[in-house]
Amino acid sequence: MKKAIYLDYAASTPVDKKVLEAMMPYLRRHYGNPSSTHRFGQKTRAAIEQARVKVASFLHCQADEVIFTSGATEANNLAIKGIIQNTKYRIQDIKPHIVTTAIEHESVLEPCRTLEKEGIAEVTYVKPQKDGIVLLEDIENAIKQNTVLVSVMYANSEIGTMQPIANFGNRLKSKIQNQESKILFHTDAVQAANFLDCDVQKLGVDLLTLSGHKIYGPKGVGVLYKKSGVRISPFVEGGGQELGLRSGTENVAAIVGMGVATEGLENPRMMVQNILIRQLRDKLIKAILRKIPYSKLTGSQEKRLPNNAHFRFQGVEGRDAVIALNQKGIAVATGSACSEKTQEPSHVLLALGLTNKDALSSVRITLGKQTKLEDVEKTVKALAAMVAQLRKTKV
C-alpha cells in the first residue's frame, strides 16, 4: 500500500508527540474535577493554570487574560457576542456597529449575521483587493461613531493572505481618540499562530483567537485572549469556570495539550522547519504553474502564509480534483474544511471578485512540518495528470 500524503495542514495538524505525552496522564491517572477542593481536583487545577501561563508566555500577556474554550469557533463567538452584550448603545436604543471583512471565517461571519438578523447590531463587511489584502483605509473609512468592534483575520484560512494586523492595531488606537467610546480590536489568529508573531502587545489587539488543532495540539480546545479591562458577557452560563466567562467542567487533557503546543511554536527548531516549509511551498507553486496549463495562484504571492498554495484550474471542478487525488492517497482540499461540504462557491473567492465558475475550480494545498520534498514532487505529478484527464473528460 502506498504511503498517504497529507497536504491539508490548514484544516488540521497531527498531534505532536510531546503534546500527546503531556496529555496522557490527564486522560488516565489525573481525573479529578478542577473545581474540587481535594487533592485530585487540585492536581488538575494546577495543570490548567500551568497551561494558562504557557499560552500567556506565547502571547506576551498576563495569565488571567487567557480564557480556554472548546475551540476557535466558540472563542470567536464569545468575543463578538460578548462585546455586543456589554455595549452601552443597546441601552440608548442605538445599534452598536461592527466592522469586519468579507473574507473572515464562518465563525466570525455567522455571529455577525445573526446579530444583524436579530436587530441587535449593525455590521459592515469590508471587501479585500483582488489579491486578498484588506486596505487599512477601507477599515478606517468603515468606522462610525457607534462602532464598538473591529474584527480582522490575521491570516486567511483558504488563500493564506496575511493582513498587517499590527498596523491596523496602531492606527485604530489613534483613530479612536476622538470617539465617544472605545473601539475594541479582535483578530482571528488561528492560521497565523504557526508562522507569525502573536505578541498581543505588538499587534495592539484587545481580543485574539487561537485553536489547538491548528498548531499540532488536540482538537476540542481553543483560546480567547481578552485584554485586562475589556468587558464581555458569557453566553455559556453555569458554574462560572474560566474566569466566569466560559462555564463547564474544563477539558483538562486538551488544555494541557494546548499549553505544550504553544510552547512548541517558539522552539528554534520550529522556526527552521518553517523556513523549509516555505522553500517546499515555493517549489510546489513554481512546478504547478509551469507544468499545468491555465493554472493560476489565488491571492498575494508575497503576503501569504509560508505553507499555503491555493490554485484555480481552468475547466476543472476543484471538488473533482480533490476526490481524484484522494483516490491516489493524496489529501488536499477545495478550501476551509468547515465549508467544504456545502459545494457552494467559497465566500472568500467571491469576495475577491471571482466568478462562481472560477471559485469552484479551486484547490488548496497546505504543507506542514512533516511534509517532504518527495511528497511535493508526487503531488505535482499526480495533480498534473489528474487535471489533464479531467479536462479531457469535459471536452
Sequence ranges of the domains in the chain: 5-14+268-394, 17-265
State the architecture of 17-265 in CATH terms: 3-Layer(aba) Sandwich (3.40)
C-alpha separations of 164 from 32, 192, 302, 305 in Å: 43, 12, 13, 13
The answer to whether 168 and 152 have CB atoms below 8 angstroms apart is yes
State how far the Cα of 288 lies from the Cα of 315, in Å rounded to an integer: 16
Residues in the chain: 395
H/E stretch holding 266: none
State how far the Cα of 369 lies from the Cα of 219, in Å rounded to an integer: 18
Per-residue pLDDT of the chain (395 residues; tens, 9 = 90+): 578 999 999 999 999 999 999 999 999 999 999 999 999 999 999 999 999 999 999 999 999 999 999 999 999 999 999 999 988 766 667 899 999 999 999 999 999 999 999 999 999 999 999 999 999 999 999 999 899 999 999 999 999 999 999 999 988 877 665 555 689 999 999 999 999 999 999 999 999 999 999 999 999 999 999 999 999 998 888 998 999 899 899 999 999 999 999 999 988 888 899 999 999 999 999 999 999 999 999 999 899 999 999 999 999 999 999 999 999 999 999 975 555 566 789 999 999 999 999 999 999 999 999 999 999 999 999 999 999 988 887 65
The answer to whether 203 and 172 have CB atoms below 8 angstroms apart is no
Task: Give the CATH H-level superfamily of domain 5-14+268-394.
Answer: Aspartate Aminotransferase, domain 1 (3.90.1150.10)
The answer to whether 217 and 258 have CB atoms below 8 angstroms apart is yes
Please report the pLDDT score of residue 175 as a whole number.
Answer: 67
Task: Assign residue 152 a region (left: φ > 0; alpha: ψ between -120 and 50; beta: otherwise).
Answer: beta
> 499560552: which residue's cell?
55
Q: Is 198 a catalytic residue?
A: no
Please report the pLDDT score of residue 26 as a whole number.
Answer: 97
Give me 234's grid cell.
458569557
Residues sharing a CB contact under 8 Å with residue 224, sequence separation 6 or more, in sequence order: 66, 67, 69, 75, 78, 79, 207, 208, 209, 245
Options 61, 112, 198, 338, the catalytic residue: 338
Other CB atoms closer than 10 Å to residue 171's CB: what's the count? Answer: 17
Please report the pLDDT score of residue 237 as a whole number.
Answer: 87
Alpha helix segments (H runs only) across the chain: 17-28, 39-59, 72-86, 106-117, 136-142, 165-175, 200-203, 252-265, 268-291, 318-327, 347-351, 356-359, 373-394
The answer to whether 373 and 380 have CB atoms below 8 angstroms apart is no
Task: Assign residue 270 a region (left: φ > 0; alpha: ψ between -120 and 50; beta: otherwise).
Answer: alpha
Closest CA to 196 of 59, 66, 9: 59
